[in-house]
Chains A and B, each alone.
Chain A
């Protein structure tokens, strides 16, 4: 428990409307998008970098754990405060500070919702490509802290590829500025990259400079139906090997299709093993059309039963709504789900899909597969009921096998969700002792009292 004096001091720093410690408030800041939960001792919602700095200085002095969070949509329990302490919610620092059109750079506070930023820059013809499925319920700060991905990463890269600079409050309260409004910058170590994906363990990101690009003016989206899941995964490679680079190449298997269809009633096919969602985009309509036709043609050659190109923006929007609804709609199938995000070299996708289904068959629990097949990033979701001890006891071994599959095929544990607490037991086998040792040294230099999101990423 926290000393009352510390709570009083927090109120002095951010005001009483920014400090909560009733049992209800602690409970609603105890979870993220997983089944894990643990209450913090106090919740703090700062408005400025200066306030964050004072909060961290206090936490450093008193050795109070600080767990930073955005909208808590994470899938690795990275923002669950297992050691209590302060839950630092960045949601009220949500301003777009500057939209510099001449340099195509947005200066933002960490708590801005990703979709809000996208809408604001698209109004002036600019484009912020990273599009995690949680764009509407996650913040840029959280996206940077987890180096979030999304469907469009296939063509446009991940969040980190768009971060030019950061404002970070360090463990002792000092404020660090990295990078700047420049595209090229090789002066000193790349600290921007160090904080990107650090999951709140090295500092608190309060603001960022983001690189924007010109908005592609045209997009075509195709829904491709496959009688066989294997054909669908082979088609992914065939498209990319042929030199076509779609913006997205998404795979959704039959269970996921059935769940989404039950929710949205879009008329998705229920008698296929998989669909691919292929989108091409660009500024030349003829090229965009040519690419989607080329992709469609390759799919047909590889066993696609049918290819439907969305006729208008409404149809396209509903296909993407369907894709974004996949993960949450699985809740209709079972009370609990564990969604992983392994990444493999894209040539290994068909084999990865085959092995995942074999694991599911061996343990008798469903593993639903969907994800960003184009960049080798798959979301195997194990469905189960945590209250059933028989099912719950299988989860550990199943997860372990899923990760082994990824590693054996030359891949890794996580493409976009991060390590958090859930993948911690497996990180040693993914990275090896030398890498872990160096990373732990970095953590120690940045956070000597281990107050920043303690217990996350690395095994003790």
Chain B
């Protein structure tokens, strides 16, 4: 097909094994809400194949079906034939982006997100909104009721924002409390720094309390997941190189993050740069060191928390942690360590919450329906806390909690652990 000549496209091995059995329809959140074949993994695989083989035009109509995938990877995990439909959808976005590049993506992912300082400046208005009490006014006057649903829900995504981004506050080196047993790097994700600063501060306290000297390089850039989601794998490679070089300088044994999305992306750097002789080995060595905070904590002798928290807690699996990294036992184990905390397993805990990065903005109706399923399950547990180690999931869950007027608190698992240790 002429439009694909000279373009980096998914190979036929990524779709030839699909025998159309339809098994993936059962686990796909977008299919289960829309009930149309084009919104299913099988449908996307066939569309990818037909466009790569030239039977269909790779136009805006077709690519829209690739962007409607929430990339929760449930289909990747399930497919007995070994097809990875979610990866293929991402590959097709990348293919299309090479044919018809979007300037706004260059601006957003290439220029804005890749520079932490610029991003902090751009999000200043949001922090002012919080600080000046506008947010309380917004709710107090009932203005939220006047707004169209989507704007109201997007507002509800925002947690209580920190006064200053954590990046500006954190020291380069955080000393261990007592003897230092581990020299670890901390990868501070953008969303964590800008919106969930208190959580990452808690993560650092918990690490320090367990014998870690923590190095936090300040010049880290976005992990790359947003650019990957929008078909700019080229930018992800550049961002990966910046981050890899920084942690090489820091000379750490582990690279820890408390963001599920960052963690899964950082662990993929090895694969991502495997074709680049200058970077392949460095990237593999980097990725091997990456740990989610819960994964790391469960791998070392841990101080037992002393304070009780009397409450019911449940846990939602972020896609990027459970399927992206195979980490799902550890966060549960952390929560079960806390005295008084009654752990209740969330039905369908591994089902996507509908956040998928930016789907609440780009695919609002489906995103809200997927969230509805999650909230039904949450309500059935009667939990007071729902823990989940992903800023995207937490924002989405907050929307659901506000929509339904629940008194549930959305937290990072490590926040509860920090509380059970007792703040210093």
Contact = CB atoms under 8 A, between A and B. Distances in A.
Contact of B22 (A71, A92, A329, A331): A71
B46 interface: yes
Contacts of B345: none
Interface of A: 20, 22-25, 27-29, 31-35, 45, 71-73, 89, 91-92, 94, 111, 113, 115, 134, 136-138, 259-260, 263-264, 325, 327-332, 335-337
Contact of B26 (A89, A115, A264, A327): A115
Interface stretch (B32-40, B88-96, B109-117, B171-179): B32-40
Given A113-B26, A136-B23, A328 B79 contact: yes
Give the dominant DSSP class at A's interface: mixed
Interface string B1-37: 0000000000000001111111111110000000111
B81 A45 contact: no
Contacts of A113: 26
21 contacts: A20-B38, A24-B65, A27-B56, A28-B38, A28-B43, A31-B46, A33-B19, A35-B19, A45-B35, A45-B36, A71-B22, A92-B35, A94-B35, A136-B26, A137-B25, A263-B80, A327-B21, A328-B21, A331-B21, A332-B81, A336-B19
Nearest to B51: A24
Contact of A33 (B20, B37, B43, B46): B20
A25 B80 contact: no
Given A25-B38, A28-B46, A329-B80, A71 B19 contact: no
Given A45-B35, A329-B81, A73 B21 contact: yes
Interface residues of B, number: 32
Contacts of A20: 36, 38
A406 to B, nearest CB: 23
Chain A to chain B: the 9 pairs with minimum beta-carbon distance, closest first: A331-B81, A329-B80, A136-B26, A73-B22, A28-B37, A91-B35, A28-B43, A328-B80, A325-B80
A28 B35 CA distance: 13
Contacts of B22: 33, 71-73, 134, 137-138
A8 to B, nearest CB: 20
Given A34-B20, A134-B21, A328-B80, 12 more contacts: A25-B38, A27-B56, A31-B20, A45-B35, A71-B22, A94-B35, A115-B26, A137-B25, A330-B19, A332-B80, A332-B81, A335-B17
Contacts of B47: 24, 27-28
A94 B82 CA distance: 30
Interface string B49-85: 0100001110001100100000000000001111000
A28 B46 CA distance: 7
B31 to A, nearest CB: 9
Contacts of B46: 27-28, 31
A215 B38 CA distance: 36
A137 B43 CA distance: 14
A25 B39 CA distance: 10
A237 to B, nearest CB: 30
B150 to A, nearest CB: 18
Contacts of B50: 27
A111 B35 CA distance: 10
B20 A137 contact: no
B416 to A, nearest CB: 27
A73 B23 CA distance: 8
Given A137-B23, A332-B81, A72 B37 contact: yes
Best-surrounded residue of B20, B21, B43, B56 (most CB of chain A within 10 A) = B21
A335 B80 contact: no
Nearest to A30: B46
